[in-house]
Amino acid sequence: MFANTPVEKMFFAGRDIFLKRDDLLHPDFSGNKARKFAYFLAHEFTGVKKVICHGSPQANSLYSLSALASIKGWQCDFYVDHIASHILNNPSGNYAAAVANGANIIDLSRLGGLNPDVGTRCQAYIEQQVLPYEPAALFIPEGGRCGYAEYGVSILANEIVVWSKMHNISDLKVFLPSGTGTTALFLNQYFIRQQTDIRVVTCAVVGGDAYLRQQFSMLNSDIREHPQIVNVGKKYHFGKLYPEFYAMWQRVCASGVQFDLLYDPLGFIVLEDYLQRSEPGVVMYLHQGGLLGNETMLPRYQRKFASDI
Ligand SMILES: *Cc1c(COP(=O)(O)O)cnc(C)c1O
């Protein structure tokens, strides 16, 4: 179904690391979310006519889900808390591409009669007010944080195992920045259960280490199978702009490969620190795609730091 994505060498922080190019998975359905949603692509869902999900209107998962839905011939209903007017007036990136794929993006703040203060409002609203009336719909939790993701992430894990055997590499560390931690958890779990010596090292890009550990536990209660978390050392807010993020992004993009502006800058900042503080042996960085989001992130960076860059 998917191509086995290539592994390249990359010079970073004074040494060679390997780069798993999962951004090259498929032109319309690539990277992290495509791996997580691969189960839905590979299986028949008799009677399903629609997929329902929720999240941010700029989320990579919105675009990937719209791509999945168009391949499967499903309708895609994506619930969001709010759509900022600049997104509506100036659609770009994941939002624009999802709309072009025919996704139906539903702004809950514009539906009347809702309790406005519920943080988990989208999920609760969908569970109580939508799903009971949608028997032909498949519900996928925000960001694809669900057991279904194990299927596609295991395929990715197996590609890495085969590659490391072919190159006679032992004690490989696979590094990736985490959001929900679903990818890191299912990768590490696979490496352990297949009795390999490959291990996952990650960092929390959304929330802190405690949040990430909690996310791991929701998918797997055995902490011996949880990935190693490297502390970020500083509090960053997800989706906010930081000059050191932009500087790191420019540094790694100078290698000739484009990285995403949401997860990769912090991923490489933490990886550099980790490489300097420990002797991890062979390291592979997982490029998880998400490049369409740069269409929205890059102009934000250019506006904010226009005087410095
Ligand atoms: C969703 C996403 C992540 C985070 O993946 P999790 O499995 O939620 O940790 C990282 N990078 C990119 C590009 C993503 O789209």
Tell me the per-residue pLDDT of 124-164, one tens digit each, with 9 for 90 and over.
Answer: 899 999 999 999 999 998 887 788 999 999 999 999 999 99
Instruction: Round to whole Å and give the CA distance between 103 and 76.
Output: 5
**What does the CA dihedral 177, 247, 293, 186 come to, rounded to 10 degrees?**
-10
Q: What is the mean pLDDT of residues 26-37?
A: 89
Instruction: Round to whole Å and give the CA distance between 97 and 6.
Output: 26
Residue 309 lies in a domain: no
DSSP string for residues in 128-179? IIIGGG-TTEEE--GGG-STTHHHHHHHHHHHHHHHHHHTT--S-EEEEEES
Instruction: Round to whole Å and give the CA distance between 133 and 184.
Output: 35
DSSP character for 108? G
Asked whether 182 lines ligand 1 (CB < 6 A), one says yes
Q: What is the mean pLDDT of residues 201-217?
A: 97
Q: Please determine, for residue 223, whether its predicted confidence score (pLDDT) is greater than 70.
A: yes
Q: Find out whether 52 and 130 touch, Cβ atoms under 8 Å.
A: yes
pLDDT of residue 118: 46
Burial of 109 (0-12, 13-18, 19+ CB in 10 A): exposed
Beta bridge partner(s), residue 118: none
Q: Please determine, for residue 246, whether its predicted confidence score (pLDDT) is greater than 90.
A: yes
| Segments forming the whole domain that contains residue 106 | 38-139
Residue 1 lies in a domain: no
DSSP element (H, E) containing 59: none
Instruction: Round to whole Å and give the CA distance between 98 and 85.
Output: 17
**Could you tell me if 163 and 114 lie in one domain?**
no
Domain finish residue from 84, 112, 139: 139
- Centre a 10 Å sphere on the Cβ of residue 65 and count the other Cβ atoms it contains: 28
Nearest alpha-carbon partner for 104 in 153, 154, 52, 142 = 52
Q: What number of residues does the chain have?
A: 309
Residue 98 lies in a domain: yes
Q: Which of 156, 175, 180, 287 to mutate to test the pocket of ligand 1 (most atoms within 8 A of CB)?
A: 180
**Could you tell me if 185 and 135 lie in one domain?**
no
Instruction: Round to whole Å and give the CA distance between 304 and 15.
Output: 32
Q: Please determine, for residue 116, whether its predicted confidence score (pLDDT) is greater than 60.
A: no
Asked whether 202 lines ligand 1 (CB < 6 A), one says no
pLDDT of residue 185: 98
DSSP character for 13? T
**Could you tell me if 265 and 159 lie in one domain?**
yes
Residue 182 lies in a domain: yes
DSSP element (H, E) containing 107: strand 104-107
Q: For residue 135, how far is its CA from the centre of ligand 1 (angstroms)?
A: 29
**Could you tell me if 84 and 23 lie in one domain?**
no
**Could you tell me if 44 and 152 lie in one domain?**
no
**Could you tell me if 131 and 184 lie in one domain?**
no
pLDDT over 90, % of the chain: 86
**Could you tell me if 74 and 126 lie in one domain?**
yes
Residue 168 lies in a domain: yes
Domain finish residue from 97, 117, 139: 139
The closest-lying atom of ligand 1 relative to the alpha carbon of residue 60 is 15
Asked whether 33 lines ligand 1 (CB < 6 A), one says yes
**Could you tell me if 287 and 155 lie in one domain?**
yes
**Could you tell me if 99 and 52 lie in one domain?**
yes
Closest protein CA for atom 14 of ligand 1: 32
Instruction: Round to whole Å and give the CA distance between 52 and 248.
Output: 36
Q: For residue 177, how far is its CA from the centre of ligand 1 (angstroms)?
A: 7
Q: Which of 263, 264, 270, 295 to mutate to test the pocket of ligand 1 (most atoms within 8 A of CB)?
A: 263
How confident is the prediction for the chain on average, in pLDDT?
A: 93
- Tens digit of each residue's pLDDT (9 = 90 or more) over 164-190: 999 999 999 999 999 999 999 999 999
**Could you tell me if 222 and 158 lie in one domain?**
yes
Residue 134 lies in a domain: yes
Domain finish residue from 121, 139, 157: 139
Q: Find out whether 50 and 77 touch, Cβ atoms under 8 Å.
A: yes
* Tokens, residue 140: 């996928």
Nearest alpha-carbon partner for 68 in 88, 50, 85, 92 = 50
Domain count, the chain: 2
pLDDT of residue 203: 98
pLDDT of residue 197: 98
| pTM given for the model | 0.94
Asked whether 183 lines ligand 1 (CB < 6 A), one says yes
Q: What is the mean pLDDT of residues 56-68?
A: 95
Residue 114 lies in a domain: yes
Higher local confidence (pLDDT), 217 or 307 = 217
Burial of 11 (0-12, 13-18, 19+ CB in 10 A): exposed
Nearest alpha-carbon partner for 176 in 157, 151, 203, 152 = 203
Residue 81 lies in a domain: yes
**What does the CA dihedral 212, 214, 218, 222 come to, rounded to 10 degrees?**
100
Tell me, what CATH number does 130's domain have?
3.40.50.1100
pLDDT of residue 112: 67
**Could you tell me if 189 and 240 lie in one domain?**
yes
- Tens digit of each residue's pLDDT (9 = 90 or more) over 260-298: 999 999 999 999 999 999 988 999 999 999 999 999 999
- Tens digit of each residue's pLDDT (9 = 90 or more) over 77-113: 999 999 999 899 999 999 999 999 999 999 998 876 5
**Could you tell me if 249 and 199 lie in one domain?**
yes
* Tokens, residue 103: 């996704």
